[in-house]
Amino acid sequence: MKPQFLIAAPHSGAGKTTVTLALLRALRRSGRKVQPFKCGPDYLDPKHHTLAAGQTSVNLDQYMMQEQHLLELYHWYSSQADVSIIEGVMGLFDGARKMEGSSAALAALLDIPVILVVNAKAMAYSAAALLYGYKHFFPEIQIAGVIFNFVNTPSHYRILEEAAADVGIPALGYLPEQPEVKIPSRHLGLHISAETDYDKIIDAAADHLTAHIDLEQLLQQTLRPAVAATAPATTPSTQLRIAVAQDEAFNFTYRENINALSQLGPVTYFSPLTDTALPEADLLYLPGGYPELHLPQLAANRTLLEQLRQYKGHILAECGGMMYLGESIVDENGTAYPMVGLLPVQTSMQRKKLSLGYREIHIGDVVLRGHEFHYSQFTTPPDITQTDIRVLNARNEILTTPVFHTSSILASYMHFYWGDQLTGLKTILGLP
């Protein structure tokens, strides 16, 4: 038996990320090995998880991943830890279509309990009705406890505790509001930067949580049988050389994508910001990130830009990586910075508009899944999608999202997941 649970909330903004980070750090400080996971496609929350837990966080996504692959990932990484914690996404029942891919659906699939974080700042006994609804709406899950957030007095908490008791959900404690543990945000979500001492913030959050929450009660409430698991394969099937861009500008990568690429050969890393020479590579992977925050430095690295223009291998570029391969990127002030120029596109941070959602791309007979999440836009809509390429959203509606595909390049605004679809990726890229 091991503690395993998913942290959820009725809605975004209830504080589940901060509670997750505090729990990860508090359990780590207690001497336990704790494995973090993230429900959904988010890149940024797992970075915070990894920092808090000292273990790399793993995404679990029922839209992008095949079910068996997801189960194998969860059981393998959980088997290596004393405690497993999944941070949910949005509200507990919010999915791509109704509940599909939601935190609740994931908890049901994995048969693990839910700890609900409720923003009770402006709520008293009415919490009973909310908790009753969440307990009974989807009987396939168990809500093992509730943490009331933004509650500043013991008298307020006593009312909430009574509400939880009347519904039959254990109240695990309350957290007073504490601005010192707020994590700065950026336009794509909570952000990690070199300027902020996140270890200090997470330590403060852990101190705050342990002063008000009974961790041992929480762990007892979430005990579940451990499942035997086997390690994923690690022996390369070929010996391609793979180079991945990784720095402050490009860092939106899934752990399992990199693990899958390692099946093709050794993976090395380079920085488009600071390196003046490309590694010897058969495949370049340019993931998304924040190139728009580093445009002068990227444009000034002319040596690397020229090497990329002359590169003869295969390239996979996603979102920020695709922008970097274009002719230029325009910042919020209207200044255009020259980029690689391999793609006939220009992108801009002016007139920002959120593009968000799951995506399924069909190229010939190959299907890859991923998601789109960006504020930048093309300066003029490019016509670069071939007739044999279709892009669908989670409702199977056809989209006009441009995709650039040649015998050696695949580039678009989409972030792909290929941890269980490496063969399809190889086919699209023309890799041996």
Q: Which token pair is 320? A: 């920020």
Sign of the CA dihedral running 251, 255, 257, 261: positive
Q: Which token pair is 333? A: 């002030």
What phi and psi, each to the nearest 5 degrees, are found at residue 399? -110, 165
- Separation CA 42–CA 21 (nearest Å): 15
Closest C-alpha to 278, from 301, 259, 262, 297: 301
For 59, the 3-state DSSP assignment is: strand
What phi and psi, each to the nearest 5 degrees, are found at residue 110? -85, -10
Of these residues, 86, 144, 319, 323, which one is catalytic?
A: 319
List 242's β-bridge partners, or say none. Answer: 267, 283
- Separation CA 102–CA 100 (nearest Å): 5
Label residue 297 exposed, middle or buried (CB < 10 Å: 0-12, 13-18, 19+). middle
Residues 6+ apart with CB under 8 A from 176: 150, 151, 152, 208, 212
The kind and range of the H/E element at 23 are helix 16-29
What phi and psi, each to the nearest 5 degrees, are found at residue 289? 165, -135
Catalytic annotation on 39? no
Sign of the CA dihedral running 245, 251, 254, 259: positive
Instruction: Please identify every residue annotated as catalytic.
Output: 319
